Structure formats: C-alpha cells, structure tokens
Amino acid sequence: MAGHDGRRGIFHHVSIAPEYRKQGIGRKLVESAAEALRNEGINKVLLVVFTHNDNGNQFWEHMGFTVREDLYYRNKYINI
C-alpha cells in the first residue's frame, strides 16, 4: 500500500510471502507504486523498517533506499 500527503510519498506494509520472494514481485510492486507517485508529482518516498528485519532492510537498500540518521521515529499510544 502506498500513498502521499501531497508532498511526500509513503510505503505502508510492503511484504511478500516467503514462498514468493526472490521472483521480482517486490521490485515490481515498488516500481509500480513509485511510478504512480511520480505521476502525482511526488519526488520522494519514505518507509519504516524494523532494525532487526534483515531481509527487509537488505531489500530496501537494494532498491536504493537509504537510512536517515537525522530523524527520530516517535510513537504515542492514544487508545489505552
């Protein structure tokens, strides 16, 4: 799932079932979503990956995504 706020794109919950990985499906999904965002005038995309998700981080690095060292990721529970 991908979307944008008018300025920045975001990829949400990108996942490929293990038995279908290494077949180019993830790459095609990301490229298609990026093209749709480009068509909307979006020039930059962000996503969040757990640090311990080695496969995911390797995939995103291979896709050209870099780690930002200048941000903190923050959460707040609002329904507890």
- What is the model's pTM? 0.86
Q: Would you state the pLDDT for residue 1? A: 87
Q: Would you state the pLDDT for residue 13? A: 87
Say if residues 14 and 29 touch (Cβ distance below 8 Å). Answer: yes
Query: pLDDT digit string (tens) for 11-44?
Result: 998 899 999 999 999 999 999 999 999 999 999 9
Say if residues 9 and 3 touch (Cβ distance below 8 Å). Answer: yes
The mean pLDDT value for 42-61 works out to 95
Among the four given CATH numbers 3.30.450.20, 3.40.630.30, 3.40.1390.10, 3.40.50.2300, the one describing domain 2-62: 3.40.630.30
Sheet of strand 2-4, all strands in order from the earlier edge strand to the far edge:
2-4, 9-11, 45-46
Domain parsing of the chain, residue ranges: 2-62
